[in-house]
Amino acid sequence: MSDSPRVATRLFPTLLPTVDPPTGPPPPWFIDGVKFECTACGKCCKVQGDVWLSPNEVECAARYLSLSPESFLATWGEEERRGWILLKSRTFSPAQGGGEGCVFLSDDLKCSIYDARPLQCRTYPYWPRIMHSRETWEAEKVVREGEEGEGRRWDPVEGGCEGIEHAEAGMVDFNKVRQQLLLQIGYNRALPGDFLP
Ligand code: SF4
Ligand code: SF4
């Protein structure tokens, strides 16, 4: 006699499970990836907010600029706490769109330490508060510069990202999103709580 499960179930129907099989947590809302492509607009570097570099990131950025960590702090740091450095900000002329931005944002809105930029810059927009739900993801989306249409417009207080779900954006797969999100969660845990405004 065959001992396949199918036959066993037919012969012994009372052995069928009477309760639903246990289920795990539902998959994250971004299990199929997200539609995102950075337009290099520089807006995430112009939004009001702090950019803290961890001690390792300070060392990395200082080396990139051929400076000692002490010189890096003196030139680019607003303040230092326990080895972490808060970057200064800079102002932009009306011709450059006005407002303030990170001190490393150049006149043409490019990061001048791109290869040594800190983790929080690398992981945006895959931050926990943004990836919390589809709603928070969509709330971060702003209308792309020069495009018409409904939707939120970027401003320096509320911020927002025009790379999210714009018409030409490709898909970023789940593993890449998850990796970036986990990195940012680790960074948030490492950042001392009293640094936050
Ligand atoms: S706001 Fe978004 S699209 Fe613009 S530079 Fe930052 S990540 Fe890229
Ligand atoms: S370090 Fe570079 S990427 Fe990060 S906020 Fe400043 S200009 Fe933007």
Among 90, 112, 134, the domain boundary falls at 112
pLDDT of residue 1: 41
Q: Which parts of the chain register pLDDT below 70?
A: 1-19, 196-197
Among 94, 112, 130, the domain boundary falls at 112
> Ligand 1 within 6 A of 51 CB?
no
Kindly give the number of the ligand 2 atom that is closest to the alpha carbon of 120.
4
197 in any annotated domain: no
Among 112, 139, 163, the domain boundary falls at 112
17 in any annotated domain: no
> Ligand 1 within 6 A of 114 CB?
no
- Domain total of the chain: 2
Ligand 2 midpoint to CA 159 (Å):
14
Token match 């006005």: residue? 98
Closest alpha carbon to 130 in 122, 118, 140, 121 = 140
181 in any annotated domain: yes
145 in any annotated domain: yes
25 in any annotated domain: no
Q: Does residue 108 sit in the same domain as residue 123?
A: no
- The answer to whether the CB of 169 falls within 8 A of the CB of 48 is no
pLDDT of residue 169: 96
Q: Whole-angstrom Cα distance, residue 59 to residue 56?
A: 5
What is the bridge-based pairing of β-strands 34-35 and 100-102?
Answer: unpaired
Main-chain dihedrals φ then ψ at residue 142, nearest 5 degrees: -125, 160
Q: Does residue 133 sit in the same domain as residue 41?
A: yes
pLDDT of residue 23: 82
Segments forming the whole domain that contains residue 67: 52-112
pLDDT of residue 93: 86
Other Cβ atoms within 10 Å of 89 Cβ, number: 18
What is the bridge-based pairing of β-strands 52-53 and 77-81?
Answer: unpaired
Q: How many residues does the chain have?
A: 197
Categorise residue 110: left if φ over 0, alpha if ψ from -120 to 50, beta otherwise.
beta
182 in any annotated domain: yes
- The answer to whether the CB of 152 falls within 8 A of the CB of 142 is yes
Q: Does residue 85 sit in the same domain as residue 137?
A: no
Beta-carbon contacts of residue 179 (< 8 Å; ≥ 6 apart): none
Q: Does residue 124 sit in the same domain as residue 183?
A: yes
Q: Does residue 44 sit in the same domain as residue 127?
A: yes
- Tokens standing for 92? 């932009």
* Bridge partners of residue 89, in order along the sequence: 102
Q: Does residue 64 sit in the same domain as residue 101?
A: yes
pTM, two decimal places: 0.86
Main-chain dihedrals φ then ψ at residue 101, nearest 5 degrees: -160, 180
Q: Does residue 131 sit in the same domain as residue 180?
A: yes
Ligand 1 midpoint to CA 169 (Å):
12
83 in any annotated domain: yes
8 in any annotated domain: no
Q: Whole-angstrom Cα distance, residue 58 to residue 16?
A: 61
